Chain A
């Protein structure tokens, strides 16, 4: 068995007074693609927010151990700098903030954290331009305001662009396929597949199985009512497609 990069142990988390995660256990392996599937309201997005440290989430019990350390009390930026990346389901718009300026700040914050020299504007732009082209994005996206007025597909491509520039170790993709047409879906999945290097881990959170035709998962976990109720290989996808989540019983 490969090394475990993240070990979530008996995680209880709530939003306001409502408990959403109720003793969730999950192990993510280095270099593997894990898919979390489950019905609406099962707690899929809450899980991604709990891992990344969103303010809405209060962890009341349990641990999230990442690279051996419990990160439950870490600031969101510290988790990010240590290599956790979330591709948002609905990336927020930030008016007036230049896309390239934002991304260079993020890339250089990470480089600084790693003790590397910061990239100058020219070096950074060269890299960004190449990826923008590769992802089939319009060149003007480089200097537009961050996500402002972007279409759904443009926003998702921009998330993937950030992922590729930041080179994270654990990538969480929250409903990456929602709102994507077939061309965008292909470009986005190619970007993701290129990031697979045998070390990097992926957590693909999805309601539908479509994306899993493009990004082949190693494990499928079924999340229902705040817990992982089943873990299996990719063959589980077909069963879920056929029978729905209702048929899966707690193991």
Chain B
């Protein structure tokens, strides 16, 4: 089939590229100790946090940007980025959120009024615009069960003991270059604590929105599930369409104690840039979960459709015996997008098990790399891993690459790896079209079939959103 036809079918337009017209407080571009003190002060942080930020900043200064990813991009000028931007109104008075922000979130399909629900299901939302959380819903109802759901800035002020205990415990501040930068300048994000034996009664979610120009977003999320608790958390994101690249460097830390389970889902839809590779978000993210206790479980599900550059490896450290780690991923690269993404499963405890299902879809000039590590420690008797990495190519100009690494110190470990690369074949498309299905619907049907195992892991209301987003990204039919 003609290349132009395929391109037309897969060059979806970015529907969320609008700008919210609000006045923002912004620091001038550049990074130094003064800027870090400014951020800390803006957030009304205690001295210990300021000190930790400065410590991270000095570590960062000594580190070098990593370039082992299968990614090509213009050098990032860290001095040209503004490290703090916040809507001028609020967020001091939660009930007086700028109506323009409420309107924008409405446009994004995220309800910020508690009586409005997503697909009829109660979902608690933390809404973050640029560097600050502007609204968090259902906090009181959750607090009745002892669940803390608030912005990380609030948590630093109100729950210092929990933050001191867990922050940097899974992703140390000098873990990597981007994590160190984040530790120095992180602005907002979400904190969740689920007490012992509590099953969180609703989906929790954070919606991140980059709005200001020339600004980086450095969010930090920390989720702690105490013994025997359960939480399902979702994050979504978007940004205006701009010709400049914007940096997003987040850190997410999860801790699951004995018998606890954390299900973390991401629908990543940052602005991807254009077909020539102009503009778009640089997404350098460190996400890691620690299965601290016995029988704990952490499950990462991600649907990555946006960003010009994605560098992201949500990982699990399986420390507790019988703990379980899962990674389900759909990564789409179209236009001129590049993604280097995958996971690390570190088996330390006995009878730990992990599952990796990765689906990469490449179209147009998109380059998609799976990079995964399965490590089985000396004491991880009976550890098991199953990995499946499938790539789907649409057209002739895109690429798929797979780098699976295995380190095993335990001869008893059981590791299975399967990888396939397929092209949407003319025969498949023709078969569906011969049955009266349009080319666009046929491409979508084949792609959805390919992603089925991952979508089935998402909470239902998000699965619907993910499918719609995938259609939008790949079909060019703005809904």
Binding site for B on A (CB under 8 A): 52, 54-56, 75-77, 80-81, 85-86, 88, 91-92, 94-98, 102-103, 105-106, 109-110, 113, 145-146, 162, 166
Whether B431 contacts A97 by the Cβ 8 Å rule is no
A105-B449 CB under 8 A given contacts A52-B434, A92-B427? no
Within 8 A of A (CB), among B426-441: 426-428, 430-439, 441
Whether A94 contacts B430 by the Cβ 8 Å rule is no
Contacts of B446 in A (CB 8 A): 94, 97
A54-B430 CB under 8 A given contacts A94-B446, A96-B452? yes
Most B Cβ at <10 Å: residue of A94, A103, A106: A94
Q: What is the chain A residue whose CB lies nearest that of B429?
A: A55
Contacts of B434 in A (CB 8 A): 52, 76-77, 80, 85-86, 88
Asked if B80 is at the interface of the complex by the 8 Å CB criterion, the answer is no
Q: What is the chain B residue whose CB lies nearest that of A113?
A: B436
Asked if B451 is at the interface of the complex by the 8 Å CB criterion, the answer is yes
Contacts of B441 in A (CB 8 A): 105, 109
Whether B438 contacts A96 by the Cβ 8 Å rule is no
A166-B430 CB under 8 A given contacts A94-B449, A96-B449? no
Interface size on B, residues (CB 8 A): 24
Asked if B121 is at the interface of the complex by the 8 Å CB criterion, the answer is no
Q: What is the chain A residue whose CB lies nearest that of B450?
A: A96
By secondary structure, the B interface counts as helix
Binding site for A on B (CB under 8 A): 1, 425-428, 430-439, 441, 445-446, 448-453
Most A Cβ at <10 Å: residue of B426, B435, B446, B453: B435
Contacts of A52 in B (CB 8 A): 434
7 A-B contacts (beta carbon < 8 Å): A76-B430, A92-B428, A94-B428, A102-B445, A106-B437, A109-B437, A146-B449
A97-B449 CB under 8 A given contacts A92-B425, A92-B428? yes
Contacts of A55 in B (CB 8 A): 1, 426, 430
**Cα-based distance from A134 to B434 in the complex (angstroms):** 24
Q: What is the chain B residue whose CB lies nearest that of A84?
A: B434
Contacts of B426 in A (CB 8 A): 55-56
Partner of B435, one of A75, A95, A166: A166
Whether B430 contacts A105 by the Cβ 8 Å rule is no
Most A Cβ at <10 Å: residue of B431, B438, B448: B431
How many Å from the CB of B450 to the closest CB on chain A? 6
Contacts of A88 in B (CB 8 A): 431, 434
Q: What is the chain B residue whose CB lies nearest that of A108?
A: B436
Whether B1 contacts A77 by the Cβ 8 Å rule is no
